[in-house]
């Protein structure tokens, strides 16, 4: 928005802040973002599910469904709502499982080791890919050599490390979509190709995820995920869906409009 020198509001903003209207708006946006970062860690500690009900205490539809969830999932671990929440929630929940499942860790490590060559074969430049791959493998090796929940949480709450892990999960999702393009093309409306979708909606950071991202990532890694949906459907119970089809879930995520968190049983 261009400043209007004759607009008294613009004049007052500049007089009181020393900034133009656009500069003041950007500064306010930065302050809001900083407040979000200060009050919402990338991945939280495990919390009782009652904290979710407190968020929706004035919402009878959501409150009822959250009450129904108590018996199966008494705990939640929140993620920051920055557009990367699905990948961050998936990555943390699954790696947390690997802390105590050596057989699954071994299988997963082999899968990731092979993924680098797959990505390069699809045209991803190795000179940029290797940084993300090496960081991802560093965390996997750390889980194998010294499994520690506190260290895993610290890793996922470190912006730099955590974002590198998210990037690699995004690249794995993109690779699966492109490898199976004939199948996934059926999910798209219009003339957008799978490669265009990946470059616009999968690979960039802060892009929110939909069913197709979940199907592709879980199919690529062979990891079963149950997604519980907190929605406004007439059913008083929260519905769920397992990805990929036919695979028993190893982790459980909660979806509420535009956001993913992690759910835990006893």
The active-site residue out of 85, 163, 198, 261 is 85
Q: How far is CA 58 from the centre of its chain?
A: 27
DSSP letter, residue 185: G
- Catalytic hit among 10, 163, 213, 259: 259
Q: Specify whether 59 is catalytic.
A: no
Is 261 among the residues known to form the active site? no
Q: Which of 82, 163, 198, 213 is catalytic?
A: 82
CA distances from 74 to 87, 206, 254 (A): 22, 29, 12
Q: For the stretch 11-34, what's the b/e string if a residue is b when 16 or more beta carbons lie within 10 angstroms of its beta carbon?
A: eebbeeeeeebeebeeeeeeeeee
Contact partners, residue 90, CB within 8 Å, separation at least 6: 169, 217, 223, 225, 251, 253, 260
Is 98 in contact with 111 (CB distance < 8 Å)?
no
Catalytic site residue 211?
no
Residue 171, classified by CB atoms within 10 Å of its CB into exposed (0-12), middle (13-18) or buried (19+), is buried
Residues with catalytic function: 82, 85, 259
């Amino acid at each position: 928005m261009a400043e209007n020198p004759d607009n008294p509001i613009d004049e007052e903003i500049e007089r009181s802040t020393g900034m133009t209207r656009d500069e003041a708006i950007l500064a306010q946006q930065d302050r809001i973002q900083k407040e979000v970062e200060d009050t919402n860690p990338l991945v939280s500690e495990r919390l009782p599910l009652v904290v979710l009900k407190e968020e929706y205490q004035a919402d009878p539809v959501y409150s009822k469904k959250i009450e129904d969830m108590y018996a199966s999932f008494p705990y939640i671990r929140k993620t920051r709502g920055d557009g990367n929440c699905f990948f961050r929630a998936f990555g943390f929940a699954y790696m947390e499982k690997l802390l105590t499942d050596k057989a699954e860790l071994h299988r997963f490590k082999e899968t990731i080791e092979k993924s680098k060559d797959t990505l390069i074969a699809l045209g991803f430049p190795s000179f940029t890919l290797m940084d993300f791959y090496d960081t991802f493998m560093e965390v996997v090796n750390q889980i194998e050599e010294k499994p520690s929940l506190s260290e895993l949480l610290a890793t996922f709450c470190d912006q730099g490390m955590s974002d590198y892990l998210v990037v690699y999960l995004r690249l794995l999702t993109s690779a699966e979509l492109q490898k199976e393009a004939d199948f996934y093309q059926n999910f798209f409306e219009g003339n957008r190709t799978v490669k265009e979708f990946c470059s616009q909606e999968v690979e960039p950071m802060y892009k929110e995820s939909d069913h197709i991202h979940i199907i592709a990532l879980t199919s690529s890694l062979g990891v079963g995920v149950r997604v519980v949906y907190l929605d406004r459907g007439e059913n008083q119970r929260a519905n769920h869906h397992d990805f990929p089809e036919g695979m028993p879930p190893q982790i459980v995520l909660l979806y509420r409009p535009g956001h993913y968190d992690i759910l835990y049983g006893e």
